[in-house]
């Protein structure tokens, strides 16, 4: 699901200091305004998918907050899937 966490967006719409919670960015939010409840479980991955054209620069920063919801409570970095 390419819109599982946030909706699909054009790369030109991703700018420095934006906080994405849905299909439109927000700037200048307090940290508590940006807290959302997303759980990625059972082997699901967070995947960035380029849909229309190449991206030649920039970076996206993810913050993973871990809370155990299973007996082993494991969180693992996934491997890049080939297409």
* Overall average pLDDT of the 35-63 stretch: 70
| Mean pLDDT along residues 32-58 | 67
Q: What is the pLDDT of residue 11?
A: 77
Q: Model pTM?
A: 0.43
Mean pLDDT computed over 34-63: 69
Residue spans of the domains in the chain: they are 1-72
List C-alpha distances in Å: 16 to 12, 26, 28: 11, 11, 11
Q: How far apart are CA 48 and CA 55, in angstroms?
A: 11
Given a cut of 70, whether residue 40 has pLDDT beyond it is: no
pLDDT at 33 over 60: no
User: In whole angstroms, what is the distance from residue 46 CA to residue 40 CA?
Assistant: 8
pLDDT at position 3 over 60: no
Q: How many residues does the chain have?
A: 83
Total H helices, total E strands in the chain: 1, 2
């Amino acid at each position: 699901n390419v819109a599982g966490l946030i909706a699909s967006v054009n790369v030109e719409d991703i700018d420095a200091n934006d906080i994405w919670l849905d299909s439109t960015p927000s700037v200048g939010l307090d940290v508590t305004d940006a807290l959302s409840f997303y759980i990625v479980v059972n082997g699901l991955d967070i995947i960035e998918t380029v849909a229309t054209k190449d991206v030649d620069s920039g970076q996206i920063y993810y913050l993973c907050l871990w809370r155990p919801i299973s007996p082993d409570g494991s969180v693992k970095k996934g491997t890049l899937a080939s297409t």
